[in-house]
Amino acid sequence: MPAHIAGPLHATPAPVWLPYPDDVNAVMPSLWSDNVAKDSDGVLTVAGHPVTDLAERFGTPTFVFDVDDFVSRAELFRQAYSAAFAPEHGLAGADVFYAGKAFLCTAVARWVHEAGLGLDTCSLGEMMIARAAGVPGASVGLHGNNKSVAELEYALDYGVGRIIVDSLDEIDRLETIAAAKGVVAPVMLRVTVGVEAHTHDFIATAHEDQKFGLSVSAGKASAAAARVVDSAHLRLDGLHSHIGSQIFDISGFQVAAARVLALRAEIMATHGVDLPEVDLGGGFGIRYTSQDTPIPVAEMASELAAVVAKECRGLGTNVPRISIEPGRAIVSPAVFTLYRVGTVKEVVTDEGVRTYVAVDGGMSDNIRTALYDADYSCTLANRNSPAAPVVVRVVGMHCESGDVIVRDEYMGGDVAPGDLLAVPGTGAYCRSLSSNYNHVTRPGVLAVTRDRVEWIVTPETYSQLFASDPGMADPTTDGKNPDPAER
C-alpha cells in the first residue's frame, strides 16, 4: 500500500475467481491470440510487432487485429464441423456461417469467405459490406426480427441463400415482395424452443418472453411453416434455433437440437415436404478471464453430430445438413484493445483502497462491461513492472460511473500515466457496438501480420463525427487534440 495512505487500510480484495499471479508481467496464453507474446523487456508484441511502435505510429485507443489467428480460427471451425458431420458418419455435412454482427468490415468478410465460411448478416448495411467484399449471395444469410422492405428487396436482388424469417408478419411482407419480383424466396424459420441458456438475461434468446423467433409451444412455428409451404413464392428450406450467447454448457445446445429436429419431423410428416437444413445457431463461449471454461471446438462439433444422428434415427427421418453461426468465438480472441493510461487514482472504500486506472477510451469502445456485466483481463503492455501486484479497476474517460472496462485485475503497483495497457478478447461487440458518447471519435481497427500493418477500419475523424451537424460544417481542432487521421 502506498506510504501516504495512513492507518490500517489495505487494498481491496480480489474476487475469489481471480488467482494471485506468479508473475504479474506474464500473459495467460489462453486469453490472447496465437501471435501475441511479451519480449524480455515486458513489451507486448503481436506477430513480432511491439505495441510501443504501434502506439507511436497509429495512436491509442486502437483495436489490434491478429489476422492469422482469425483466419486459423475460422478454418478450425470449418474443418471440425465438416469432419464431425461427414457423410461417412451417416450425416449430411455442415456449414459454418460467421456471425457478422460480432464484427464486420470488408476485409473480415473477404477473409471469412476465403476460409470457406458463409456469412450471417442482420441488416442492409451488413449485406452491403458482404457484397462489396465479393461474397456471393448464395453464401449469405439474413437475420432480423423486424426486417424492412428495403432489406428484403436487397436480399432478393443480392440472391442471398437464406432468409431467416422471424414472425408471421414477415411472411406476408416477404411473400408480397417475392411475388412482385417474380422469384421464390429461400426461407428458414427461426423457432423458439424454450431452452434457458445459462448466460446473461440480455443475451439469452430461446426462452419464451423475448422478441426473437416463432414459439414452438404456442404453435406459432407450426402455423408459420404451413403458411410458407402453401406459398407459391416462398420455399421452406429448414429451421433455425439460437439459444443465447457466451454459453459454456453443452446441454442447452443438445436439448435445443432435439426439439428442433422433432419439430422438423412433425412439419415434414404434416405437409409432405423435406426440410434439408437445420441451423443450430451460435453462442459458443470464449475465455475472457481465467474463470471461463469454453468447450473445445472439435468436442462441441462431435457432441452435436451425435445428437443429430441419434434424434433423427429415433424420429425415423433423414438427417438434415447442419449449420452453425459462431461470431464471437472466431473474432474475439483475435483482437485486443491498446490504450494509454492517463491517470491513476487510489480511492478509499469500505473494503479498503481501490486503485483506479483510467485510460483514453472506455464505454464508447467497449460497452459490454456496462451492458452485460462482462469481465475482462488486461496487462501492462510497454514494460516489465518490478512492483508487487495490486488489484486495479480499469476505467474509461466518459462521464458515467459505470464506465468500467476491467472490473478487477492484478497489475504491478507502479502503473503510471503514460503506460500502455492492453485488454484481450475485444474482437466481438466492441467496435461493432461502439458509440460517439461525449462526442469522442471511434477507434480504428489495425490488422497485423508478420509482414504488414494496416487499417481495415480507419479511425473516425472529427470531420466524420460532425458531418451530420449543420452547425459544424468546418470542424477544427485546437491543435492539442489532432484528428485521428492526422496522427
Amino acid at 346: E
Count Cβ atoms below 10 Å from residue 305 Cβ, excluding itself: 23
**Is 430 among the residues known to form the active site?**
no
Q: What is the DSSP letter of 60?
A: S
What's the grid cell of residue 171?
411472411
Is residue 429 annotated as involved in ligand binding?
yes
Is residue 368 annotated as involved in ligand binding?
yes
Residues 6 or more apart from 310 whose CB is under 8 A from it?
Answer: none
The H-assigned helical ranges of 133-249 are 149-158, 168-181, 220-229
Phi/psi region, residue 337 (left: phi>0; alpha: psi -120 to 50; beta: rest), is: beta
Query: How far, in Å, are 137, 239, 266, 435 from residue 187 at the CA level?
Result: 14, 9, 18, 33
Is residue 437 annotated as involved in ligand binding?
no
Q: Is the dihedral of CA 412, 413, 419, 420 positive or negative?
A: positive
With beta carbons less than 8 A apart as the criterion, state whether 424 and 336 touch: yes
Is residue 325 annotated as involved in ligand binding?
yes
What's the grid cell of residue 7?
492507518
What's the grid cell of residue 337?
484493445
Round to whole Å and give the CA distance between 25 and 384. 6
Is residue 238 annotated as involved in ligand binding?
no
Q: How many helices (H) and strands (E) does the chain have?
A: 12, 21
Is residue 459 annotated as involved in ligand binding?
no
Is residue 396 annotated as involved in ligand binding?
no
Selecting among 122, 378, 399, 430, the annotated active-site residue is 399
Count Cβ atoms below 10 Å from residue 384 Cβ, excluding itself: 17
Round to whole Å and give the CA distance between 82 and 273. 26
For the annotated binding site for pyridoxal 5'-phosphate, the residues are: 283, 325-328, 429
The catalytic residues are: 399
For the annotated binding site, the residues are: 283, 325-328, 368, 372, 400, 429
For the annotated binding site for substrate, the residues are: 328, 368, 372, 400, 429
